């Protein structure tokens, strides 16, 4: 026989060892891909939550910018639980909508509750406005299925506060020495300070403060 080495095949043990190694490598690769996909999904969810919060804050400022002054009717009202206001409805010509914001407790949600917004249909008569104004309060306290159909959940919250700017100072609108927040005082303040307490489990956590200044106010910030 020539000096060339005989070609030989793999033994069964060698084949089994090779298969085992390839299976282990495939498993490690899959776990790596799975981890990357999980991280990407988590980042996407966090980004979505941030965008939702930004949209909610923008909507808040838009609602305040478009508060409508109606003769003989309350323009806005804050009772410590719900903020109600009249908002110009640009699509309905001279019509308005009643808009309400509140924090509703929910033990099943991060932080124990949600920041919510509600709005009525366009209103053209005083009677329709009175009904919507009352519905906004009912929605914040004991909402019916019908009223909840018109609400939007903005973001999980642990709590919220409002302060108003009048007479050169920020005050609690529910304090005894404040001149606004009183149901009999429907004047729009010079500024509104929104303080949100965001849960630690959300992308933006801790206390967030947003100041709004009445657009017609001269002289800059309050």
Closest CA to 66 of 212, 220, 219, 222: 212
List, in sequence order, every beta strand (DSSP E) within 36-95. 76-78, 82-88
What Cα–Cα distance (Å) separates residue 202 from each residue in 41, 94, 199?
15, 40, 6
Q: Is residue 106 part of a domain?
A: yes
Query: 173 with 78: CB under 8 angstroms?
Result: yes
Q: Which domain holds residue 57?
A: 43-213
Give the pair of three-digit tokens for residue 157. 């919250």
Which residues, at least 6 apart from 201, have a Cβ–Cβ distance to it below 8 Å? Answer: 110, 111, 156
Whether 35 maps to a domain, the answer reads no
Query: Is 3 a domain residue?
Result: no
Write down the pTM of the prediction: 0.74
| Structural domain includes residue 31 | no
| Tens-place pLDDT, residues 16-57 | 777 777 777 776 776 666 666 655 566 676 777 788 889 999
- Specify the higher pLDDT residue, 14 or 182: 14
Quote the number of domains for the chain. 1
Q: Tell me, yes or no, whether 65 lies in a domain.
A: yes
């Amino acid at each position: 026989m020539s000096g060339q080495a005989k070609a030989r095949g793999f033994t069964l043990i060698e084949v089994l060892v090779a298969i085992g190694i390839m299976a282990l490598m495939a498993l490690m690769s899959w776990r790596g891909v799975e981890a990357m996909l999980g991280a990407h999904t988590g980042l996407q969810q966090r980004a979505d939550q941030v965008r939702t919060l930004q949209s909610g804050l923008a909507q808040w400022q838009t609602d305040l910018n478009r508060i409508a002054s109606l003769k003989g009717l309350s323009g806005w009202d804050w009772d410590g639980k719900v903020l109600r206001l009249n908002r110009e409805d640009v699509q309905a010509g001279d019509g308005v909508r009643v808009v309400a914001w509140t924090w509703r407790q929910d033990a099943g949600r991060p932080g124990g509750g949600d920041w919510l917004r509600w709005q009525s249909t366009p209103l053209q008569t005083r009677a329709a406005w009175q009904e919507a104004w009352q519905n906004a309060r009912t929605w914040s306290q004991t909402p019916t299925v019908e009223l909840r159909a018109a609400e939007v959940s903005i973001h999980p919250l642990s709590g919220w506060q409002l302060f108003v700017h009048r007479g050169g100072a920020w005050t609690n609108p529910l304090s005894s020495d404040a001149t606004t927040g009183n149901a009999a005082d429907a004047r729009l303040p010079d500024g509104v300070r929104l303080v949100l307490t965001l849960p630690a489990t959300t992308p933006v956590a801790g206390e967030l403060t947003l100041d709004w200044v009445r657009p017609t106010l001269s002289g800059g910030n309050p």
